């Protein structure tokens, strides 16, 4: 059995449709008045079969329905996709199957049908627990609907999570602490807390450029971040990743596949994959694969050729090392030193230079690199700079 075959393997399923487009969102999501669910079922399962041929010797550890708003899918579609994945690959024990949902599309009967199809974890896009900020964020639900959705999810699924966005305009630490207290009374085992960022080509970007939206200053954002860490630590749900908090053992297994740099297949429009396969000379290579972003074009292409892949390239050694660092340093646990050195073909001191590692450690940005290379809390607050310093060495390797 190859190394890849023995490691966790995730399957991501992208459903690109939403009821409305949020003004801060730059995901591949689209508003559509009519969706041919039968045709989409056929296309998603067809693309799964293509990826089975690319990654035959894998054992599925997690499935994630993301979007868009996957809770807008018909339960029959979710059932068909899960059944096809089960038919194509063996499964590990206790496979995690997550479905993202928005409160506006949560119905008790539909959630029961998703559970019957095999979904055992749900992730809700709540984003705020007060109506004023929900309106600012362009959400189509109110706080009461959010609480109702959380209640249905708690009653239906074994595990659940929900998202909140903070560092909103005018938000104070005191107000955020109060909202966190409220959120923690609703949470079960996992919660995701994201700082609001202004992404290009979104309505918020244009408004921010005009001065209509002003985010908290850097010092205020840092104080909000630190308040978040403090509150969640005390609640027994520490950050295992920059924006994700969980009780021990309840981390998102699917997202850990990404962050620990294991293989995954992504199907649906705009999905990404990282798959190790045997190259023409028999050597194992990592392939970065992306499908067509436009839903209608993807759907047509899958119908004609069985997949909607638009790009496929081999990731070289430097690229793999960069990706492993960019993903793994987001985690509190950091990057496994043995895996990093195996991929690099040398020890960390040779790879990065003893001076750089010492400098980062003395600055308080990384932990002493014993069995893992991990960023400290302060380092994770400045992660882009830490990663840039490390990956610059990769570009200078001889």
pLDDT at 281: 76
Q: 212-252 pLDDT, tens per residue?
A: 999 999 999 999 999 999 999 999 999 999 999 999 999 99
pLDDT at 31 over 60: yes
- Higher-confidence residue of 21 and 125: namely 125
Percentage with pLDDT > 70 across the chain: 98
- The mean per-residue pLDDT over the stretch 172-191 comes to 96
CATH class of 3-257: alpha beta
pLDDT at 2: 57
Q: 245-298 pLDDT, tens per residue?
A: 999 999 999 999 999 999 999 999 999 999 999 877 778 899 999 999 999 999
Find the DSSP H helices in the chain: 3-6, 37-54, 75-88, 108-117, 131-136, 143-156, 173-186, 203-209, 218-234, 253-259, 295-305, 317-328, 337-344, 348-352, 354-362, 377-381, 383-395
Q: Checking DSSP bridges between strand 309-315 and strand 284-291, what pairing results, if any?
A: antiparallel
The distance of Cα 334 from the centroid of its chain, to the nearest Å, equals 17
pLDDT at 397 over 60: no
Distance CA 306, CA 152 (A): 37
Distance CA 207, CA 91 (A): 47
pLDDT at 43: 98
- The mean per-residue pLDDT over the stretch 351-380 comes to 92
- The mean per-residue pLDDT over the stretch 70-96 comes to 96
- The mean per-residue pLDDT over the stretch 202-217 comes to 90
CATH architecture type of domain 321-395:
Orthogonal Bundle (1.10)
Could you tell me the residue ranges of all domains in the chain? Answer: 3-257, 321-395
């Amino acid at each position: 059995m190859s190394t890849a075959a023995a490691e966790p393997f995730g399957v991501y399923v992208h459903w690109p449709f939403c009821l409305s487009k949020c003004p801060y969102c730059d995901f591949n999501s689209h508003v559509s008045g009519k969706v041919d669910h039968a045709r989409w079922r056929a296309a998603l399962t067809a693309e799964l079969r293509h990826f089975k041929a690319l990654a035959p010797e894998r054992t599925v550890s997690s499935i994630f329905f993301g979007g868009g708003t996957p809770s807008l899918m018909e339960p029959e579609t979710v059932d068909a996709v899960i059944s096809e994945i089960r038919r194509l690959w063996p499964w590990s024990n206790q496979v995690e199957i997550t479905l993202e949902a928005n409160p506006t599309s949560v119905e008790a009967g539909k959630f029961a049908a998703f559970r019957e199809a095999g979904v055992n974890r749900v992730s809700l896009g709540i984003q705020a627990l007060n109506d004023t900020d929900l309106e600012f964020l362009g959400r189509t639900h109110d706080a009461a609907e959010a609480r109702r959705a959380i209640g249905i999810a708690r009653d239906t699924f074994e595990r659940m999570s929900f998202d909140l966005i903070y560092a909103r305009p005018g938000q104070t630490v005191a107000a955020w602490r109060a909202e966190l207290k409220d959120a923690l009374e609703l949470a079960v085992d996992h919660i995701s807390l994201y700082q609001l960022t202004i992404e290009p080509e979104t309505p918020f970007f244009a408004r921010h450029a005009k001065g209509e939206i002003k985010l908290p200053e850097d010092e205020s954002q840092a104080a909000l971040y630190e308040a978040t860490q403090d509150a969640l630590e005390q609640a027994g749900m520490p950050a295992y990743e920059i924006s994700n908090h969980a009780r021990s053992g309840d981390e998102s297994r699917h997202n850990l596949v990404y962050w620990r740099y294991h293989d995954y297949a992504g199907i649906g429009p705009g999905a990404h994959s990282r798959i190790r396969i045997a190259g023409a000379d028999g050597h194992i290579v990592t392939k970065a694969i992306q499908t067509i972003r436009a839903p209608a074009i993807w759907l047509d292409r899958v119908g004609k050729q069985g997949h909607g892949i638009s790009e496929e390239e081999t990731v070289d050694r430097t690229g793999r090392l960069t990706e492993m660092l960019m993903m793994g340093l987001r985690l509190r646990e950091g990057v496994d030193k043995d895996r990093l050195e195996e991929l690099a073909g040398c020890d960390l001191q040779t790879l990065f230079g003893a001076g750089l590692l010492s400098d980062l450690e003395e600055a308080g940005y990384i932990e002493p690199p014993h069995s893992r290379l991990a960023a400290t809390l302060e380092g994770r607050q400045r992660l882009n700079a830490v990663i840039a310093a490390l990956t610059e060495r990769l570009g200078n390797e001889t």
